[in-house]
Structure 1
Amino acid sequence: MLLHLSDLHFGTEREACMHAIRLFCEQHHPEAMVVSGDLTQRARFKQFYACRQFLESLSIPYLVVPGNHDIPLYHVWNRFFSPFLRYQMFFGDLETALETEHFYIVGLNSIRRRYHTRGHISAQQIHETYDKLKQAPANKIKLVVFHQPFYIAPDEHHDKDCPVLGQIALEQWGHTGLFGLLHGHLHQAAVYDLTQIYQLNIEHPVYDIHAGTAISNRLHHDATNSFNVILDNGVIEHYWFDEQKKRFEKHEKAMNLNHNDDDV
């Protein structure tokens, strides 16, 4: 089981949600955790510190990538000359990989200092990620993680935030056996089959897997706090926070998919 959190936005965190995630980890023992960006609300030292403390308290291996909130917004000098300084103080390299018993995960940095919300990936990142995925064990579920999604539904009005080279990346990565991409940014849980959406010449679905905000009070469109779980058989589940029970429960209308499904 892989736990997919996103948009923690420390500085706006809810203690009840943090406690519920700890309880979930104690009960289900995920083999790893991924956090797809926006660890903090304003990239402040104490927010990164609080985030690191929380993730370490879960006692499971994890991979994180930065989001657009993880570089300074108002401190212009720091934004342009050392945008990732605080992030790297607590989490090290901007791009890492994580291999577990059932998963092979590549983390990418899609954040650029000159953009506020728009995602960006370079030709070099596409090539290097292709090489990593190509060399990864064929029997493991292959995933790539970065903050902005590759597909945003028309009613979300954030389509300009998708990386420009996203479709080119998919056309290469899809031939490595890539299972899916893990994102946040929109604070909405969703799953899309990118192979169908972009009519890619790939024989299997490649899923765009969006996570909601796991612990922040910055909820969008009347959504609740949520996270995703990916099982080792390729099933994708959404867990939503139950305000009365104060715990995360599998959403009854969640789309549970595996790599043999055609419907998303």
Structure 2
Amino acid sequence: MRYTLMHISDLHVSWHFDLTVAEQLVRQAHDIQPDLLVISGDFVLRADLTGQLMAAAAYLKLLPGPQLVVPGNHDVSLFNGYYRLFYPLRRYRRFISPELNPVFARPGLTVVGGCTAHGLTIDGGRLHAPQIRTLDYALSRADPGGCRVLVLHHHVVDPPSSKRRPKIANAADALHLMNRHRVELFLCGHTHVSYVGTTNGFQPGPHQDTIISQCGTTTSRRGRGHDRGKNSFHLVDIDDQTIQITPYFYQPDARQFLPASAHAFPRRR
């Protein structure tokens, strides 16, 4: 069993969108031909602006499939208070995806997406109780001997290099969810900083460590911290023994994304 996931995030189609980087991403994504392209939220900067959503939808069609996408906080209406409170993801579901809990299932692999975006905050996120029940159900149906992967927009632990962006309000519930279902890999974005690590040391008591792939912003000029001015995606290779994550960063001189490091983790069997 071997699968390749390409993890991109925080496209922010807007005046911050770097077209040169975005065009190269399309070329390299088609060269890689991943088994699944994962996009962990923030497709636009302002979900109230129809033009941004239409442009994001058009851009997604240029990228290879299959795709698994989840919404981020920027994909929630900001200026329209009525929609923000009562239909926060109406425009996301119209233009990007009608599904808030996508599932990609293959022999030996189950990838489940969740929604942490809501209308009661500007930057933060939360896994509400109905979401947790939905994710519980989806993960309980996963291949018992396979690799389980969870995708959210918001992070659940603060990466060492970026502690200023709020993680989801009920991060402990998300960690318990991953422990209950032996989730081996967690994909997220939000901070605009690339990070690879594990949940080890972030939760008390007995637990199962989960590998973290936190992608920086892939196509916008909004990189933060040590990723300021940078764009990245993560390539995830999963086989029977190992999960390897390779962050790629765009290099202007080479005009392409190039691997920056490689992180190998033993599978949890």
**Runs of 4+ off more than 6 Å:** none
Distance 1:133 1:157, change over 3 A: same
Are 2:231 and 1:225 aligned? yes
Name stretches of at least 5 consecutive residues in structure 2 with no aligned partner.
none
* Larger relative helix fraction: 1
1:87-126 superposed matches below 5 A: 87-90=92-95, 91-100=97-106, 103-126=109-132
SS of residue matched to 1:177: coil
Contact 2:162–2:225 (Cα < 8 Å) also in 1: no
SS of residue matched to 1:21: helix
Are 2:263 and 1:259 aligned? no
Are 2:66 and 1:61 aligned? yes
Q: Paired residue for 1:31, among 23, 32, 35?
A: 35
Distance 1:71 1:171 in 2: 26
Contact 1:110–1:119 (Cα < 8 Å) also in 2: yes
1:222 Cα deviation (Å)?
4.9
SS of residue matched to 2:7: strand
Distance 1:206 1:183, change over 3 A: same
TM-score by length of 1: 0.89
1:121 Cα deviation (Å)?
0.7
1:122 Cα deviation (Å)?
2.1
Distance 1:260 1:107 in 2: 21
1:82 Cα deviation (Å)?
2.7
Please name the residue that 1:9 is paired with. 12
Give the RMSD, CA atoms, in angstroms.
Answer: 2.0
SS of residue matched to 1:7: coil
1:179 Cα deviation (Å)?
1.0
Distance 2:186 2:147 in 1: 11
Q: Which residue type is aligned with residue 187 of structure 1?
A: H
Distance 1:260 1:142 in 2: 11
Distance 1:208 1:222, change over 3 A: closer
SS of residue matched to 2:238: coil
Please name the residue that 1:209 is paired with. 213
Between the aligned residues of both structures, percent identity stands at: 24
Q: Which residue type is aligned with residue 206 of structure 1?
A: T
Are 2:244 and 1:239 aligned? no
Distance 2:107 2:54 in 1: 29
Distance 1:41 1:152 in 2: 23
Please name the residue that 2:144 is paired with. 138
1:173-214 Cα offsets, whole Å, 9 max, x none, are 324231122111110010231143214523x52023210000
Q: Which residue type is aligned with residue 259 of structure 2?
A: K
Distance 1:16 1:85 in 2: 30
1:157 Cα deviation (Å)?
3.7
Please name the residue that 1:79 is paired with. 84
Please name the residue that 2:201 is paired with. 196
Distance 2:133 2:83 in 1: 30
1:200-232 Cα offsets, whole Å, 9 max, x none, are 523x52023210000011121252100111102
Distance 1:134 1:196, change over 3 A: farther
1:105 Cα deviation (Å)?
1.2
1:80-110 Cα offsets, whole Å, 9 max, x none, are 2332121011211222212245531111110
Contact 2:156–2:174 (Cα < 8 Å) also in 1: no
TM-score by length of 2: 0.87
Distance 2:123 2:30 in 1: 35
